[in-house]
Amino acid sequence: MMDAATIVRLENRHGSGAYGKRPTALVKGQGLYVWDANGNRYLDATSGQGVAALGHCHPAVVAAIQAQASQLITAQESFYNDRRAELYPLLASLTPGDLDQFFLCNSGAEAIEGALKVAMLLTGRAGVVAAKRSFHGRTTGALSMTWTQKYRKPFMGWLPAATHVAYNDIAAAHAAITDATAAVVVEPVQGEGGVHPASPAYLQALRQRCDETGAMLVVDEIQTGFGRTGSMFGFEKARILPDIIALGKALAGGLPMGAVGWRSAHGQIPRASHGSTFGGNPLACAAAIAALRAIHELRLPDHASQTGAWMMDELRAANLRGAREVRGRGLMIGIELRGRVTPTLKALQERGILALPAGATTLRLLPPLIITRDELAIVRDAITEALGQAG
Ligand SMILES: *Cc1c(COP(=O)(O)O)cnc(C)c1O
């Protein structure tokens, strides 16, 4: 096996430079844990950026990939395929209402691009309203909606126009959404932007304003979807039905896959108006079928709701000296720190826990949804050690 130093050297030499990397080479994963090339084990409270909702290498997902890999890996959408025909109704059964028309793609950003095109095709308009602090991806269309300046700035002047309004501000959204708006794009809980949940009243007001103006309400469920926030989808807590949803991350148990879903009341989109070579490939579909069935059968949305609420109570009760606030929903948890997050991430890694930042000062926990209270207690204790306890 390649040693850690060689892995780091080769990636640094030939990689794009686009990623800020931790000096750790991950080579194996099982359930909650990942191992580095030096044999150190970590509890992965990142789920590989929200992907491994079932943990790493879940046996049902591994078996589905192995079986499909020797059957058929590629079959472009200009033909029909059995795995795809199985995935479509499964997805439709998980999404509420008539949110049951889907376009399959290969990443979250692609799902956002697709959602934007669907909104434009359905409305014949081009206006986009998004929220400040939002993250919707890094392809140019998605980047026009993403707020974070460090991602957008080098490309300003070249990106399509989008209006950004303060998150959870009903009056600002009301004013920005007009009969020229094609899409209103919103995360039910802002992830990258610092783990900020939308109030149900805000999502309801967006729904109402979209009804008044004929704009499409696009909910970005790429990070919040498939149980992460304690319900199958984050928007369900507000009891609204979006026109369009964007899916990704946990969708295919770790294989790259994204999807756009929309209400069949809006009909299908015109021939040749969109497409993808790899979209809906049988291998990713087989993995998604296995992953979604397992998430459903293990009742992971309920489990995330209960264990997430417990964990947030525990973290608040710990009275952390280095923290200002604990917020989140389900197993999407943010701890607003009094200082920068990088030293805390390092301190946690030294204690065998991998966690994420969300902006400069927020520690983000996205553990696999299969995590138990006992295992979360280990994370709680490491955080308490790293941040200290107030008097
Ligand atoms: C990760 C993420 C994206 C982008 O997904 P990629 O697969 O990285 O392109 C978009 N929106 C949200 C909310 C995300 O968390």
The pLDDT assigned to 1 comes to 83
Q: What pLDDT is stored for residue 231 in this prediction?
A: 98
Distance in Å, CA 390 to ligand 1 centroid: 36
At 391 the pLDDT is: 73
Ligand 1 pocket test, pick from 221, 224, 249, 255 with the greatest ligand atom count within 8 Å of Cβ, gives 249
Q: Is the CB of 248 under 6 A from ligand 1?
A: yes
Ligand 1 near 109 CB (within 6 A): yes
Model pTM score:
0.98
Divide the 391 residues of the chain into consecutive groups of 10 and give the mean pLDDT of each group: 95 96 97 98 97 98 98 97 98 98 98 98 97 97 94 90 96 98 98 97 98 98 98 98 98 98 98 97 98 98 98 98 97 98 98 97 98 98 96 73
Neighbours of 62 (CB within 10 A): 15
What's the number of CA atoms in the CB half-sphere (13 Å) around residue 20? 4
Q: What's the 250 CA to ligand 1 centre distance in angstroms?
A: 11
Instruction: Please tell me the predicted confidence (pLDDT) of residue 160.
Output: 87
Give the position, in ligand 1's atom list, of the atom nearest the Cα of 190.
13
